[in-house]
A and B are shown apart, each in its own frame.
Chain A
Amino acid sequence: MSLSKTLGKVLTLSPERQEEADADLRLVRQIQAGEVAAFDTLVQKYRERIYGVVYNLTSNREDAADLTQDTFIKAFQGVARFQGSSSFFSWLYRIALNATLSHLRRHKLRRFFSLEKMVEEDHSAEVIQTLSVGADSDKEALVKELQEKLNEAFQKLSFKHRTVVTLFEVDQLSHQEIAEIMNCSVGTVRSRLHYAKQQLQSYLQDYIK
C-alpha cells in the first residue's frame, strides 16, 4: 500500500468515528461468536445510509431496496471472515458499492428512474421556495422537475464521480472516509469531487447561481 493510502487510513477516523468503529467491531466479534442477533443492531444502524447511497447511485427505489438487502446478506455471510483490518462501516460500504456497480453493469441497457418522494425539511423548503419565485409552475411541479433534473444530472456522471458526490454531499462522509471506502488517495477523492461538481454545475446551470 502506498504511503498516501497508509496515511489516509491512519488519519481517517476521528475520535467519534473511532469509538463507533470499536463499537461495530465488538458487535462483529459477538456475531462471530455465534450471537447472530447482534447483526440486527448493525442493520438498524446502517440500513438507511446504505439505502441512501445505493438509491442515489441508481435513482431507482426498487433496485435500491434489493441491493441494500443484498448488501446486508453478503455482509452477514462474510462477517465470519471479517478480520477488522478496516472498519466495519467502510467494509459494508464497499460491499454496497460493489453490488451496485455489478447491478448497473448487468442492467446498463435497462434502466429507468423510480424516485422516492422528497420529504419536506427546512433546508429543502427554503431552496424550493427560492426557486419557485418567478417560476411559472406551481411548487409541486417545481419539486418534481427539480428532482428529475437532479437525478438525470447524477446519472450522467460516471460511477466513480457519482459515488464521490453521493458519499460527500449526500452522506456527508469525510474525504478520508471516502478514500478508505474507495481504496484511493484523498487527493483522488478531492479531484473526483471537483470534476463531478463541475459536471453537475453545467448540467444544472438553469438553477445555479
Chain B
Amino acid sequence: MAEPTHHSRPKVTLEQLIQLKRTERPPAEFWTDFDRELHRRQLVALVTIEPWYRRAGSLLAATARRMAPIGASAAALALAVFAMLRVDSTDRPTGESVAATTVADAEARFIELPEEAISVSAPPAPQVAVIVEEFSGDVHTAPLEVGTGAMPARRFVTVSAPVTFSSGDDSSAIYAAKALTAGAVLRSLAAAAPESL
C-alpha cells in the first residue's frame, strides 16, 4: 500500500482521533455468544468447590498482602538494628584483630588453633585478646586435669589476661587463640600444645 502524503492532508485534534477508538465495537451477535458462555461459566463456578489448598493459598496471599507493610517495617527495623550493631562492633577492636596486630608486630609465625579446640565459657565482656605464644606448663597458671565420665581427661588452662606460654621443646611454635575473653577457659590445649603441659 502506498504511504499517504501526510503533510498535505488536513489534520484533526488528538481528541477527535482518540474518539475513533469508541467506534471499535463488537457486532450485536457477539453478545449472544458472550452471555451464553458467561452463563455456562457461572454455573461451573457455582458447582465447583475449590480444593482446600487453593482456598488456603488465596487466604495466605490475602493475609500476606495485608501484612506486607508490617513485614516490611519489621525487616527495615531488623536491618537498622543489625547495621547499628555492626557499626558498634567495628568501632571496637576485636580479640582477633588485636591478636593479629600483635603477632604481626612480632613478625611471628601464626598457627591458628582449630575451632573445636577453643571453648569460651565466660561472659563475653570485657573482650581481651589472648595470644598464646611459646608454650610451657609452669608459667602464670597451673594446668587443671578435668574429666567427665563420658569424656577422656583433658588438660585445661585458665587465663585472665593476655599471657605468653613458652615451650621448651618447640620454641618456634606460636599458638594464637582468637577472640578469647578475660577469664576464658582455653580447652584442649593438649591437642595443640606439647605434652609438657
- Chain A interface residues toward B at CB < 8 A: 36, 39, 43, 47-48, 51-52, 55-56, 61, 65, 68-69, 72-73, 76-77, 115-121, 123-124, 127-128, 130-137, 141-142, 145-147, 150, 154, 165-166, 169-170, 197, 200-201, 204, 206-209
Q: Is the interface of A mostly helix, strand, loop or mixed?
A: helix
Q: Are A76 and B42 in contact, with the CB atoms below 8 A? A: yes
B106 at the interface (CB under 8 A from A): no
Which residues between 34 and 56 of chain B lie within 8 Å of chain A, taking CB atoms?
Answer: 34-35, 37-38, 41-42, 45-46
Q: Are A146 and B20 in contact, with the CB atoms below 8 A? A: yes
> Contact string, B1-44, partner A, CB cutoff 8 A, digits 1/0?
11011101111111111111111111100110011011001100
Q: Are A124 and B34 in contact, with the CB atoms below 8 A? A: no
Rank and list the top 4 A-B pairs by shortest CB-CB distance, nearest first. Answer: A206-B6, A116-B24, A209-B11, A169-B18
Write out the residue numbers on chain B whose beta carbons fall within 8 Å of the beta carbon of A73: 38, 41-42, 45
Besides A73-B42, A145-B4, 12 other A-B contacts (C-beta < 8 A): A39-B42, A47-B34, A56-B24, A61-B26, A73-B38, A76-B45, A119-B24, A137-B4, A169-B18, A170-B19, A204-B17, A207-B6
Expressed in whole angstroms, the Cα–Cα distance for A25 and B34 within the complex equals 24
Expressed in whole angstroms, the Cα–Cα distance for A130 and B20 within the complex equals 13
Q: Are B41 and A201 in contact, with the CB atoms below 8 A? A: no
Q: Are B38 and A69 in contact, with the CB atoms below 8 A? A: yes
Contact A204:B14 (CB < 8 A) given known A43-B38, A68-B34, A72-B38: yes
Residue in A closest to B31 when the chains form the complex, CB atoms: A47
Report the minimum CB–CB distance from B166 to chain A (whole Å): 71
- Chain B interface residues toward A at CB < 8 A: 1-2, 4-6, 8-27, 30-31, 34-35, 37-38, 41-42, 45-46
Q: Are B4 and A135 in contact, with the CB atoms below 8 A? A: yes
Q: Are B17 and A118 in contact, with the CB atoms below 8 A? A: no
Contact A150:B21 (CB < 8 A) given known A36-B46, A72-B38: yes
Expressed in whole angstroms, the Cα–Cα distance for A131 and B38 within the complex equals 40
Residue in B closest to A209 when the chains form the complex, CB atoms: B11
Q: Are B12 and A200 in contact, with the CB atoms below 8 A? A: no
Contact of B41 among A52, A69, A130, A170 (CB under 8 A): A69
Residue in A closest to B42 when the chains form the complex, CB atoms: A76
Contact of B24 among A118, A142, A169, A207 (CB under 8 A): A118
Write out the residue numbers on chain B whose beta carbons fall within 8 Å of the beta carbon of A128: 20
Write out the residue numbers on chain A whose beta carbons fall within 8 Å of the beta carbon of B13: 208-209
Expressed in whole angstroms, the Cα–Cα distance for A55 and B26 within the complex equals 10
Write out the residue numbers on chain A whose beta carbons fall within 8 Å of the beta carbon of B8: 134
Contact A147:B20 (CB < 8 A) given known A137-B1, A200-B14, A207-B12: yes
Write out the residue numbers on chain B whose beta carbons fall within 8 Å of the beta carbon of A154: 21
Report the minimum CB–CB distance from A90 to chain B (whole Å): 19
Q: Are A69 and B20 in contact, with the CB atoms below 8 A? A: no
Residue in A closest to B27 when the chains form the complex, CB atoms: A117
Q: Are B25 and A52 in contact, with the CB atoms below 8 A? A: yes
Q: Are A56 and B38 in contact, with the CB atoms below 8 A? A: no
Write out the residue numbers on chain B whose beta carbons fall within 8 Å of the beta carbon of A124: 19-20, 22-23
- Pull 22 A–B residue pairs with CB atoms less than 8 Å apart, ordered by A: A47-B31, A76-B45, A116-B24, A117-B24, A118-B20, A119-B24, A121-B22, A124-B23, A127-B16, A130-B12, A131-B10, A132-B9, A134-B5, A134-B10, A137-B4, A145-B4, A147-B24, A150-B21, A169-B15, A169-B21, A206-B6, A209-B13
